[in-house]
Structure formats: structure tokens, C-alpha cells
Structure 1
């Protein structure tokens, strides 16, 4: 097998390069890691969530999630509220400071995305979206298959 032509490898390299190009900006300007940004971005898009819910959405394992979350709470970017009946359960949301940071980074991330896809014409963008949707559905279906 030629690794350079293996689709999962190519996607991994592409994802890494895209993430690094954005991460270098928010790391140097805002002093947060890629994992911290994933949590902030996820919380900036909706209601309070548990750490498990966020972890599953942003593809972080429990250790990565715990470390990043601890840093975000210490920085005052995320607030944690414990359940009154079950102290093991908590809900997370962005603080005012966290929301302000989210609002500063989103335009930067969207501009980087725009710069990336600028090499594609309108038809190629539509094709890319359709292809990615098909591959995402297929990958999800393959994840449910039993491996012998």
C-alpha cells in the first residue's frame, strides 16, 4: 500500500494541516490550544452541555477533555454548574469572557476556511460538500458493522 494515496491518511494529513493553520492563530493571539478551542466552539453554538456530550462532539478522549476543560475553567472561559441531586453530573457553558473569545475567533476561523476553499470554484465546492456528506454517512455505517 502506498500511504500517500490511502484516503484515510490523506484526510488525516489534510485535517492536521488545516487545523494547524488555524491553531497557530488562536494559539499565538489568544493562548488557547486546539482542544480548548474545540470545546469553546462547541459551547458557543448552543446550550450548556456535559463534558461527555462535548467530548463526543469534538472528538476528544476523556483525558484530553479533562485537561482542556480544567484549563478553560481556570482561565475563566468556561463555567461548570453541578447537578443539585447528583454531584457527579455537571453542566458546562461559556462565561462572558469565553463568549467574547468565541466571538473574536469565529471570524478568524471562517476567514481561514474561506481562504482554503478559494481554490475551488462554485461547482467544485458543491461537489466537495456532496462527496463529504456521502463519505460521512458511509463511514458512520461502516462503524456499526461487526468486524470478524
Structure 2
């Protein structure tokens, strides 16, 4: 079998290419790394999260979260406080400056994502969304018995097959 025909490889390559298109916007125009973008995205949505919640909601490891949080804190885009007596547990909250920057960046990032997706026929976009949702559900079904939980992505509502 050729690697180019192996579905997991194709999926990873296409996802990375799509992601690079978005990184070009928030990285070049707003000076954010991929890890910083993810933290801001999560915090803008939630307002604040502790380190355990962040670990559950992102694919970043503890070191990546810590380093990105330090950079965001230096930029005054988030605050980070120690929770209780366990100095490893921290609470992260987005600042107004962080919220403003994120919203400006999100408009541009969303426009770039839409531009790419709109280059696909509507029928293919709908099939892609259904396929991604189906893959997410399949992963949850296969991994839930092993890990005790499904995928990390909350579902916005029922998705039709």
C-alpha cells in the first residue's frame, strides 16, 4: 500500500494543511502561536478554566499549556492564579485585552476558513461535516470502553447520519 492512499495519513495531511492556512492568519497578523490560539479560543468561550479542565478540552500537554499560558500572561491576554494549596492547579481567565484580540483574530480566521470551505461544492461540504461527525462518534464508541470517556469534542446538537 502507498502511504498517500492510507486514510489516516491523508486525513492528517489535509488537516495540517487546513490548519496552516489558519495559522498564517492568527500567527502572522496577530502574533499568536497555535497553542496560544487554542488557549484563547477555549478561554474566550468559557471565560475561565482550571488546568484540569484545560487538559480535558485540548490536545495540548501540560508543558504546552504552561508555556503558552506564560506567553499569554506576559502579553496581558490572560491571567493565571494558583488554586488552593496544590500549587500545580491553576485557574486561567481571559482578560478584556485577550477577548478583544481574540474576536478581531477570529473574524479574520473565520473568513479564511470560510473562503477555503466555500471553494468546495455545498454538497461536498455537507458530506465532509457529516463524515467528521461520524468519525468522531466512531472514535468515541471504540475508545469509550478503554478510557471511560468519549471524544473531547462537545457536540452542538444531534447530528443526522
Q: Give me the whole-angstrom Cα distance separating, in 2, the residues matched to 1:29 and 1:122.
A: 29
Instruction: Please state how far the C-alpha of 1:89 moved relative to its aligned partner.
Output: 2.9
Report the aligned-residue RMSD. 1.8
CA distance in 2, matches of 1:64, 1:95: 20
CA distance in 2, matches of 1:43, 1:117: 26
Deviation string 1:41-86 (CA, Å, 9 cap, x unpaired) is: 1111123101232233221011111111111111111112333565
Which residue in the other structure is 1:92 paired with? 92
| Count of residues paired in the alignment | 146
Alignment of 1:94-113 (within 5 A): 94-113=94-113
8 Å contact kept, 2:51–2:89 = no
Cα distance in structure 1, aligned partners of 2:26 and 2:47 = 23
TM-score by length of 1: 0.88
1:32 to 2:21 alignment? no
User: How far apart, CA to CA, are the structure 1 residues paired with 2:8 and 2:50?
Assistant: 30
Equivalent position of 2:16 in the other structure: 16
